[in-house]
Amino acid sequence: MTGHSPCKFYSEPKLPQCSLLVSWMEDAGRLGPTVIGHLNKKLGGRLFCEIEPEGFFQLGGVLVEDNIAQFPESKFYYCPDQQLVIFQGNSPRTEWYKFLNTILDVVEKVGRIAEIYTIGGMVTLAAHTTPRMLLTTANSPEMKSVLGHYDLARDLDYETPPGQRPTISSYLLWVARRRNIRGAAIWVPVPFYLLATGDPRAHRKTVDFLNRRFNLNLDLSEIDEAIHQQNVRIASLANQFPEMDDFLHKLESNITLTDDENSRLVQLMEENLSKEC
């Protein structure tokens, strides 16, 4: 497809070789946006480009979430000291192929892309105290080999179930492969009852991996403190609400909750945890 550039550049940094981190706003437990926000803050990410929404999103009005009018965002940041480019945006509603190629076009204007990582949360029925494992999907054998140096689940077999669709991250990795750019999707399990409140354990697991992969030298104590605070708060709630305690014990014992129990646990967490964590 041709036409005028859908991008608005605020500056044109030059990075000889960079890695691209991608997260989507519509993410389980808002894991991707949380991780990206953390990295931008700690690494001093600077906004340098946006993709204009026209042609990619339905612009017939605005969506209101948590009392605030939302608008599609597609923003690029760069962290010069770490040779990182960060993209954070809403998933487009149409012209996906063009949009995903535009992401890669923007970054290639800044520097040669060495690797792409997409970051996303995935819903798990396990308890929040269960140790997390990062799951990865590579878009090439070479990338899979790179990931072999880290403690990641790298042998996933998966086929999209009927009635569902592949994720936009998978689509991006496929587009990247067509352009000979290696990449991987990083998926982090987020307990179903923490989707609305956030999951600092998943946050930590992701940042820890990126810290090691890109030698970011990030201090994780802030996230550790958030994990501690959440643990304390959940323990306190479990004391206050015996049924919540029962649900959590069942999950920790690998006992599946009924649909009603799941709903009740989510309700208790959302009503009580989100206020303070």
Partner 1 sequence: MAIRLYKEPALVNPVLVACWPGIGNIGLLAVDTLRRLLEAEEFGEIEPWHFFYPRKLLIRHGELKELEFPSNRFFFKKTDSRDLLFFIADEQPSWEGKVYAEGTKAYHMANLVLDVALKFGCRKVFTSGAAVASIHHSMRSRVWAVPNMEHLVAEARSYDNAVLMSDIEGRSGEGNITGLNGLLLGVARKRGIEAICVMGEIPIYLQGFPILYPKASKSVLEVLTAALGVSVDLKDITEFAQRNEQEIDRLYNELPPEAKEQLDKLKHISPARPANARTITEDDKRKILDDVDKFFKKSTKEGGN
The least distance separating partner 1 from the CB of residue 26, rounded to whole angstroms, comes to: 13
Question: Closer to partner 1 at the Cβ: 157 or 260?
Answer: 157
**Residue number, 2 or 217, with CB nearest to partner 1:** 2
Q: Give 61's contacts (C-beta < 8 A, 6+ positions apart).
A: none
3-state secondary structure of 69: strand
**3-class DSSP state for residue 145?**
helix
Interface residue list for partner 1 (CB under 8 A): 1, 58, 93-94, 96-98, 136-141, 144, 147, 153-160, 165-167, 170-171, 173-174, 177
Q: In this structure, are residues 24 and 120 in contact, taking their beta carbons and an 8 Å threshold?
A: yes
| d(C-alpha 275, C-alpha 197), whole Å | 9
Judged by CB, which is closer to partner 1: 74, or 137? 137
CB of 25 to partner 1, least distance (A): 16
| Dist. CA 43–CA 217, nearest whole Å | 10
**For partner 1, the closer CB: 100 or 244:** 100
Q: Are 208 and 220 in contact (CB under 8 A)?
A: yes
Q: How far is the CB of 164 from partner 1 (least distance, A)?
A: 9
Q: How far is the CB of 97 from partner 1 (least distance, A)?
A: 4
Q: Which residues partner with 190 through β-bridges?
A: 123
